[in-house]
Amino acid sequence: MKLRMTATIAMALWGAMSSIASAEFDNVTLQMAHIYNPGEHWGDVADDFKARVEEASGGTVKINISPSGTTGDWPQSIEGLKIGTNDIVLQSVGALDRYGSIAGIEAFPYLLRDVGHFEAFYYGPVGAEVFDAIEEQTGFHLIGASYRGARHLSANREAGTLEQLAGLKLRVPPLKMYRETWENLGASPVPMGFAEVFTSLQHGLIDGQENPLEVIQNVSLYEVQDYVMETGHVMGAMTFIFNGARFDQLSADTQTLLKEAGEAAMKAGTERMIATEADLKANLQEKGMTFIEVDKKAFAAKLDGYAKEFPDLEPWVEKIQAIE
């Protein structure tokens, strides 16, 4: 999909360009890593960020992108931020929950009601507070948030009720929040790196997995899965992750540039994801996948009181749920 700027984003970029003459940007090349392929949605978001930064800085601030996991999977890429081999990683907010519990809020089940609630949270003051709290706890500085698409369960058998879910061997990311969510729902979660998922499904080592539709399509899971249960259990967010100490070493103008360009690129990614989510479902149906409606209220009710298992997150859950 070709990138298109909305009029609002174009005006914001023009405003940034008008202040170049007075800005003091670092003469620096920043190394970005991500696991997504060029031409895919998140590859486009990364390219959009790079283009905005380099254009607005007049080429003074450059970004070198290593896509497709060429420098390692996402845990290795984030570790690269700590040792200085990477400056930026494009990944989900929740990927940082191994470094600090507050980042797990991104994967908290049935927290966000809809896309409007997602935007009110991540693009409002509570989202900024959460990002500050994550940085204080983990040392990672986050810029921008982009809607990933709702996460759904896919499986090689129908599992649209809690009874059918019981015992389902379900791959989950190697993160505490996902594992405990599905244990509470009655499945048998199997923490696993994503590179192993396709072959594990193919050989029956696991029965299912859960991800946004964009992921299911891009890695051709329709070849080894028949059903998508529309659980919509997480409305996750991608972000640009920086080492906080490294970010603080950059000039104030460079920091502002990265913040404004990163937020704009992520918001544009949200717009494109919203526009394509229905098409993703139609494409997967054409490839033979059957979509099953689930009783989300029953799933959410099974998790009633779940926040009490995460004392660090409970006040944030209450604050986010209260956003109108």
The DSSP line for 129-166 is HHHHHHHHHHSEEEEEEEEEEEEEEEESS---SHHHHT
Whether 278 maps to a domain, the answer reads: yes
Whether 149 maps to a domain, the answer reads: yes
pLDDT at position 1 is 38
Whether 98 maps to a domain, the answer reads: yes
How many domains, the chain?
A: 1
Whether 191 maps to a domain, the answer reads: yes
Whether 2 maps to a domain, the answer reads: no
Q: What's the rounded Cα separation, in Å, for the pair 215 and 174?
A: 17
Whether 1 maps to a domain, the answer reads: no
pLDDT at position 176 is 85
Whether 20 maps to a domain, the answer reads: yes
Q: Which residue has the tokens 């009110």?
A: 120
Mean pLDDT over each residue of the chain, to the nearest integer: 92
Query: Which is it for strands 290-293 and 188-191: parallel, antiparallel or unpaired?
Result: unpaired
Phi, psi for 128 (deg, rounded to 5): -65, -40
Q: What's the rounded Cα separation, in Å, for the pair 45 and 265?
A: 6
Query: Is pLDDT above 60 for 2?
Result: no
Neighbours of 24 (CB within 10 A): 9
CATH no. for residue 31? 3.40.190.170
User: How much of the chain exceeds pLDDT 90, in percent?
Assistant: 89
- Full residue range of the structural domain in which residue 79 is found: 7-321
In tens, the pLDDT along 102-160 reads: 999 999 999 999 999 999 999 999 999 999 999 999 999 999 999 999 999 999 999 99
pLDDT at position 195 is 86
Whether 297 maps to a domain, the answer reads: yes
